[in-house]
Amino acid sequence: MFAEKKYQDGELMAEEDTAQGTDKFQSGSGPSKNPLVAVMLIVNFVFMIGLAYMQYVGHQKLANSPSIQDVVKSEMKAVMGEDGESVTGEAIKDDGILFPLEGFVANLAQGDGPRRYLRMNVVLKFNKDSNEEEFKARKPQIRDSIIGIVNSKRPSDLLKLEGKNFLKEEIKAAINTFLVDAQVIDVYYIDFQIN
């Protein structure tokens, strides 16, 4: 009987708690009747609509802006007419002779890590007045000087843009030291891969 009384008391306690809980919600002090929550929901809704509008306007501006290809095409049309001649009537002059070298592989200077090498294809640009026979005849000497320069470089030296540009300048200077009638004015990388 003592156990039944506890049970009945527990039942009575539960009934009292539920009765008090329903009174809380009916009295209007609950969260569903709070005007601050309604105001915050409206402010949040307005903010989200504004954010969506700003994104829409940003995407419209981005879609209407010209791409790089469009800018280049318009500049080319400004410089050249439809028939391929310049606006002034003079043809655009070629300022050099391109001389491609076959691709080659050269070992890089060994640092602390594993053995690394550089695989690259290079095109040399000689001045317009150069004798083509000279740089064709000196092709082995040109390749040897490029390989010698590359062998002295570490991979970390060539991974950055400054290192690649410095390598171009070194190649130009080294080749120009033994050419008589020709002169290298630029070096272009067609393929540049460090493994």
Burial 16-52 (b: 16+ CB within 10 A, else e): eeeeeeeeeeeeeeeeeeeeeeeeeeeeeeeeeeeee
Instruction: Please say if the pLDDT value at position 133 is more than 70.
Output: yes
Stretch 55-78: mean pLDDT, rounded?
A: 77
Instruction: Please say if the pLDDT value at position 185 is more than 50.
Output: yes
Check residue 41 and give its pLDDT: 93
CA angle, residues 177, 120, 153, in degrees to nearest 5: 65
The tokens describing 26, both together, are 């009916």
* Domains of the chain by start residue, with CATH: 96-194 (3.30.479.30)
Stretch 171-185: mean pLDDT, rounded?
A: 88
Stretch 168-192: mean pLDDT, rounded?
A: 89
Check residue 56 and give its pLDDT: 93
Lowest mean pLDDT among 18-22, 31-35, 63-67, 97-101: 18-22
* Cα 33 off chain centre by: 53
Lowest mean pLDDT among 61-70, 95-104, 120-129, 171-180: 61-70
Check residue 1 and give its pLDDT: 46
Tens of pLDDT, residue by residue over 75-88, are 667 666 555 554 44
The tokens describing 105, both together, are 């592989």
Query: Residue 103 — pLDDT band, cuts 50, 70, 90?
Result: confident
Name the percent of the chain lying above pLDDT 70: 70
What SS3 class is residue 178? coil
- Mean confidence (pLDDT) of the chain: 77
Query: Residue 26 — pLDDT band, cuts 50, 70, 90?
Result: low
C-alpha dist (Å) from residue 175 to 44, 147, 148, 149, 166: 68, 12, 12, 11, 14
Strand 104-107 relative to strand 184-194, pairing: unpaired
Check residue 97 and give its pLDDT: 85
Check residue 159 and give its pLDDT: 87
Stretch 149-153: mean pLDDT, rounded?
A: 89
